Amino acid sequence: MSTESSFHSHTLDNGLRIVIEHMPGVRSAAVGFLARTGSRDETPEVAGVSHFLEHMCFKGTAKRNWGQINADFDRMAVDYNAFTSEERTFYYGWVQTADLERQLELLADMMRSVIPPGEFDMEKKVVLDEIARSNDQNMHVAYDFLQKQVYRDHPLEWPVLGYESTVGGLPRDRMAEYFQDRYAPTNLVLIVTGNVDPAEIVDLAGQYCGDWPAGRPRPERAGPTFQTGTAVLQVERFNQQIVALAFPAPSAVDPMHETANAATTILGGANSRMFWNIVQAGLSPDAACYRLPYCDGGMLLLWGQTDADKCEELAKAMQTEAARICTHKVDEHEVQRVKNKRRTALAVEAEAPYYRLVQVMDDVDLRGQPRTVEDRLAAVDAVSADGIAEYFTAYPIDRDGYFISVGPRDWPPTG
């Protein structure tokens, strides 16, 4: 059975772009609409509108109410959902090939939501509850606090969920304006992966999306500036302290992207240095390293949680690991272990239209064009110990970054 794939691209007269990956060796298809807008594209007074709007696209169209939307998904999709991030919103469904047209029509219908007034007020309560639950979790509070410090005076500083005040005070008409502006065909991309006929997809897109009125492109984004410093947020209701160190990192389209991912995994992924030298040493029940790549910048984040009286030990241990990986080249066996796991993950994902859908979506949004699985594997193969050393020379983590502490203890002193 052939596993070869090919890409096809087409743009409708109204500006809607269509990107298709033909995967002849599978029996299913995944369909998604990428809305090229997220929380960083909002204005301060409507922070959270992108995520709230994602909820509302499931709540009613001119053809379906919320119950019919959910019933139609359940009748055919093995997996369906949506998510909102700082830079995009994505709606998707994964179905057997025979249900492809029905899935495409349903998602296209959702992209023309009527934002039902009655559902708007009810769903606002759901989103406010989500914000409240997020504020009860120390990791969420610490992450939002860190973003606010590092990206001060930039849209990346506010949380994807928004604030109780901005979501609670958001009028339906203001959301409708945002929806009409940001969900215009010029800001949407229809992506399909699986055992499909590209010509049929283009015809279906014209049938279900071709009459959408063209709109204006999303406004240009202003690049963020990475701040440095120290900040403390004392939250007495939490039992443990979150300690985090943040440093500038490459963007999602930087040539060092795959090398940065490998370096991050060696330092703080599964079976990593931080796991063995911090978690297994009893300094933290949970400590790791993450990279947050955006279209025009990024952050490398080392974090851990611990009892309030162990903050100093945990912070020192994280700083030690950060300094060691900058000054001593990583071992080849560490690099090979990470590369082998990455190759396996890509091989598995290459066989599933849903995972390819997300990969193609990511590439189209950030790079303008999709990459083949072979392109991704080649980037992994190019990672080396020397390349990781060059990465930490370009993006050192053994000097000033941003240090935060969140929890019951007012530490360290910041005066």
Task: For residues 123 and 257, state if they share a domain.
Answer: no
Task: For residues 235 and 371, state if they share a domain.
Answer: yes
Residue 93, judged by CB atoms within 10 A of its CB (0-12, 13-18, 19+), counts as buried
CATH number of residue 262's parent domain: 3.30.830.10
Task: For residues 79 and 145, state if they share a domain.
Answer: yes
| Domain contains 412 | no
Task: For residues 187 and 318, state if they share a domain.
Answer: no
Task: For residues 189 and 252, state if they share a domain.
Answer: no
Could you tell me the two tokens for 297? 């910048």
| Domain contains 233 | yes
Q: Cα 276 to chain center, whole Å?
A: 28
User: Would you say residue 102 has pLDDT above 70?
Assistant: yes
| Domain contains 182 | yes
Partner residues linked to 288 by β-bridges: 303
Q: How far apart are the first and last CA of the chain?
A: 66
pLDDT, tens digit (0-9, with 9 covering 90-100), for 160-184: 999 999 999 999 999 999 999 999 9
Question: 202 phi and psi, to 5 degrees?
Answer: -60, -45
Q: What is the mean pLDDT of the chain?
A: 96
| Domain contains 217 | no
Pick from 141, 66, 147, 150: nearest CA to 110? 66
Pick from 2, 25, 28: nearest CA to 354? 28
Question: Measured at the alpha carbon of residue 44, what is the angle toward residues 298 and 91, in degrees to the nearest 5?
Answer: 65
pLDDT, tens digit (0-9, with 9 covering 90-100), for 33-81: 999 999 999 999 999 999 999 999 999 999 999 999 999 999 987 799 9
Question: 40 phi and psi, to 5 degrees?
Answer: -75, -10
Q: If you ran DSSP here, which 8-state letter would residue 212 be given?
A: S
Q: Quick one: pLDDT band at residue 4, thresholds 50, 70, 90?
A: low
Q: Quick one: pLDDT band at residue 3, thresholds 50, 70, 90?
A: very low
pLDDT, tens digit (0-9, with 9 covering 90-100), for 393-414: 999 999 999 999 999 999 998 8
- Cα distance between residue 304 and residue 321, in whole Å: 13
Task: For residues 45 and 111, state if they share a domain.
Answer: yes
pLDDT, tens digit (0-9, with 9 covering 90-100), for 300-334: 999 999 999 999 999 999 999 999 999 999 999 99
Task: For residues 144 and 184, state if they share a domain.
Answer: yes
- 13 touches 206 (CB < 8 A): no
- 14 touches 178 (CB < 8 A): no
Task: For residues 93 and 166, state if they share a domain.
Answer: yes
Domain termination residue (choose one: 180, 209, 238) = 209
Give the DSSP letter string of 122-162.
Answer: HHHHHHHHHHHHHTTSHHHHHHHHHHHHHTTTSGGGS-TT-
Measured from the Cβ of residue 386, the count of other Cβ atoms closer than 10 Å reads 12
Token pair 């703080």 is found at 268
Q: Give the per-residue pLDDT at 1.
A: 33
| Domain contains 295 | yes
- 168 touches 128 (CB < 8 A): yes
Q: Give the per-residue pLDDT at 5.
A: 62
User: Would you say residue 208 has pLDDT above 50?
Assistant: yes
pLDDT, tens digit (0-9, with 9 covering 90-100), for 104-156: 999 999 999 999 999 999 999 999 999 999 999 999 999 999 999 999 999 99
Task: For residues 58 and 18, state if they share a domain.
Answer: yes
Q: Quick one: pLDDT band at residue 10, thresholds 50, 70, 90?
A: very high
User: Would you say residue 2 has pLDDT above 60?
Assistant: no
Strand order across the beta sheet in which 297-306 lies? 229-234, 402-407, 241-248, 297-306, 286-294
Measured from the Cβ of residue 135, the count of other Cβ atoms closer than 10 Å reads 16
Q: Give the per-residue pLDDT at 201.
A: 98
pLDDT, tens digit (0-9, with 9 covering 90-100), for 254-280: 999 999 999 999 999 999 999 999 999
- Cα distance between residue 228 and residue 190, in whole Å: 39
**Total structural domains in the chain?**
2
Task: For residues 11 and 93, state if they share a domain.
Answer: yes
Could you tell me the two tokens for 257? 């992207």
| Domain contains 220 | no
22 versus 5: the higher-pLDDT residue is 22
Q: Which structural domain range is residue 88 located in?
A: 6-209
- Cα distance between residue 396 and residue 380, in whole Å: 22
DSSP H or E run through 206: helix 198-209
| Domain contains 221 | no
Question: 268 phi and psi, to 5 degrees?
Answer: -145, 25
Could you tell me the two tokens for 415? 């005066």
| Domain contains 47 | yes
Could you tell me the two tokens for 26? 């599978």
Task: For residues 196 and 120, state if they share a domain.
Answer: yes
Q: Cβ contacts of residue 45 below 8 Å, gap of 6+?
A: 166
Pick from 259, 215, 165, 198: nearest CA to 23? 198
Task: For residues 186 and 248, state if they share a domain.
Answer: no
- Cα distance between residue 61 and residue 112, in whole Å: 6
